[in-house]
Amino acid sequence: MLIRTKEPNLSRIMQWIQTAYSIYYNREHKRSGHLFQGRYKSIVVGEESYWHMLSFYIHLNPLRAGIIEKLSKYKWSSYHDYVSTRKVHKWVNSEAVLDSFGRNKQDSRKEYRKLIREVSGKEKDFLADVRYGMILGGDKFVSWVQKKFIDRKEKNDEDLPQKRE
C-alpha cells in the first residue's frame, strides 16, 4: 500500500484500517480474532522516481509471489485503477503517481502499462535501497530526513532521565 500523508499520522491511519477491516471481515465470516500479524512496515519515500518504482514493485508483488500469471486478471490489486479508465476502487488515488507519465490521463495510463510490462521480471529487490531501515530516496533526501528526524530523536533521547543502577 502506498499512502501519501501531509501529517505524521500514518500509525493512526493504519490502526483504523486494521481495526475497521478486522471488524468487517470477522462479522462477514462469523469469526473473531486478529487478521494481521505484527506491525506494518513503513518507509519514507523521497523523489517522484522512487514513488514510480515503489508503485511498480507493489503492483508486481502477486506476479513475483507466483499467485497469478497475468496482472490484469488479479482483482485484488489497484493496478486496474492505474491502467483502466473505469474506476474500480473509489478510495484509490492513482493520479499522484500517474500525473508525471503523460500529457493526459490516457497517455499516462498507456505509459504506466508499458513501463510495468518492461520492468516485470527484471526488477531488483527494490527494498534493498531502503536506508536506515525506513528511508527510500536519493542521498540529499536521505540526509535531510536523517538531520530533521533521526538525529533530533537521538538528541532528545539523550535528554531523557537514565535508569539508576
Q: What pLDDT was estimated at residue 163?
A: 52
What residues does each domain of the chain span?
42-155
Residue written as grid cell 485503477: 81
pLDDT > 90? residue 109 = yes
CA distance 145 to 70: 38
Q: C-alpha cell of 165?
A: 543502577
Q: What band does 164 get if pLDDT is binned at 50, 70 and 90? A: low
pLDDT > 90? residue 158 = no
* pTM of the predicted structure, to 2 decimals: 0.75
Residue written as grid cell 513503513: 42
Q: What pLDDT was estimated at residue 85?
A: 82
Instruction: List pLDDT tens digits, range 27-45.
Output: 999 999 988 888 788 888 8
**Average pLDDT, integer, range 77-104:** 88
Q: What pLDDT was estimated at residue 153?
A: 56
Handedness of CA 144, 134, 52, 95 (dihedral sign): negative
According to DSSP, the residues that pair with 131 across neighbouring strands are: 135
125 or 11, which is more confident? 11
Answer for the pair 18, 35: CB distance below 8 angstroms, yes or no: yes
Instruction: List pLDDT tens digits, range 127-142.
Output: 788 888 889 888 999 9
Q: What band does 160 get if pLDDT is binned at 50, 70 and 90? A: very low
Q: What band does 14 get if pLDDT is binned at 50, 70 and 90? A: confident
Q: What pLDDT was estimated at residue 37?
A: 83
